[in-house]
Amino acid sequence: MMTRRQATTGILASAAAAAAGSAGAQVPGSIELPAPRQEGGKPLLAALKVRHSTREYAGRPIGRQTLSDLLWAAFGVNRPNGDRTAPYWRHVMVLDIYAATADGVWLYEPKTHRLVPHLPRDIRAETGTQDFVASAPLNLVYVAHGERMTDIPPEERRLYASVDAGFIGQNVYLFCASEGLGTVFRGAVDTAKLARTLNLPDGQFVTFAQTVGYPRA
Ligand SMILES: Cc1cc2nc3c(=O)[nH]c(=O)nc-3n(C[C@H](O)[C@H](O)[C@H](O)COP(=O)(O)O)c2cc1C
């Protein structure tokens, strides 16, 4: 039987191998995600009816198609002009989503719907102060480009970036409610330490994190 780590690694590693051989890969080792499903799922009201936070996760990995759909629902491109599934501050693109998995950290690139390798190691335990984050298959980390929020003071940068993250977080909640996945949006994060772990450049900062996985039965 595969361990959780092997299962998750297998999904991403095989995708990376496929991406490495495909034309147009921009960063070596990038994962070209399958086209996201943009229809189906539970009706909105049915998803709202079951939306909730989950803090106990099963070892079952998240499949590649589901990961693709999840990231698209979170903050993917939903219009020809490049705009997104979540609203964002002043039409300035401030938020990046990092995906922390057993086999490393990936930056989601919405324009190309790819995962770009960021760190080759498992930092899940560092994405929060609660025990379940270390073993859940996926922790999303919402990172803000403060340096792009030029004409407002730093405390307002955190406020507006947090609102952007909150909208993305609710998209993730609703997608998970629709798909039978569990999730929890998290502020219990040592954001300064996590920023160092992620090697974020000056100006960028961690807002919140969000765990995703199948709920433990
Ligand atoms: C800004 C914010 C920060 C949160 N931080 C955490 C957290 O660090 N850890 C956690 O387990 N839940 C966290 N939550 C989830 C809330 O505890 C949860 O949404 C609330 O208890 C209501 O439960 P429900 O989501 O199941 O309806 C956070 C939610 C929000 C909106």
Write the DSSP assignment of 7-57 as a string of letters.
HHHHHHHHHHHHHHHSTT--STT-EEPPPPP-S-SS-HHHHHHH------B
Answer whether 186 contacts ligand 1 (Cβ < 6 A).
Answer: yes
131 DSSP assignment: G
pTM above 0.85, yes or no: yes
Residue nearest (by alpha carbon) to ligand 1 atom 18: 53
Listed residue (160, 171, 137) closest to 207, CA to CA: 160
Query: From the CB of 5, is ligand 1 less than 6 Å away?
Result: no
Task: Report how far ligand 1's centroid is from the alpha carbon of 189 (Å).
Answer: 12
- Ligand 1 pocket, residue 184 CB under 6 Å: yes
> In which residue are the tokens 């909150």 written?
166
Nearest CA to ligand 1 atom 9: 186
Q: CA nearest 177: which of 169, 189, 187, 165?
A: 169
CA distance 87 to 31: 26
Can you give the pLDDT at residue 155?
84
Check pocket membership of 50 for ligand 1, CB cut-off 6 A. no
> From the alpha carbon of 129, which atom of ligand 1 is closest?
8
Counting from 1 in the atom list of ligand 1, the atom nearest the Cα of 169 is 31
Structure tokens at 127: 């994405």
- Bridge partners, 140 (sequence order): 99, 210
Q: What angle do CA 12, 100, 73 make, to 5 degrees?
A: 80
Please indicate whether residue 53, judged by its CB atom, sits closer than 6 Å to ligand 1.
yes
CA gap 212, 165 in Å, rounded: 15
Position 35 scores a pLDDT of 98
For residue 154, the model assigns a pLDDT of 84
In sequence order, the β-bridge partners of residue 144 are 95, 205
Q: Which atom of ligand 1 is nearest to the CA of 52?
A: 26
To test the pocket of ligand 1, the residue of 48, 50, 52, 53 to mutate (highest count of ligand atoms within 8 Å of its CB) is 53
Exposed, middle or buried, 71 (CB in 10 Å: 0-12/13-18/19+)?
Answer: buried
pLDDT of residue 23: 37
Q: What distance in Å separates the CA atoms of residue 92 and residue 201, rounded to the nearest whole number?
A: 19
pLDDT averaged over 10-residue windows placed end to end, the chain, 217 residues: 39 42 60 97 98 97 97 98 96 96 97 98 98 98 96 92 98 98 98 98 97 97
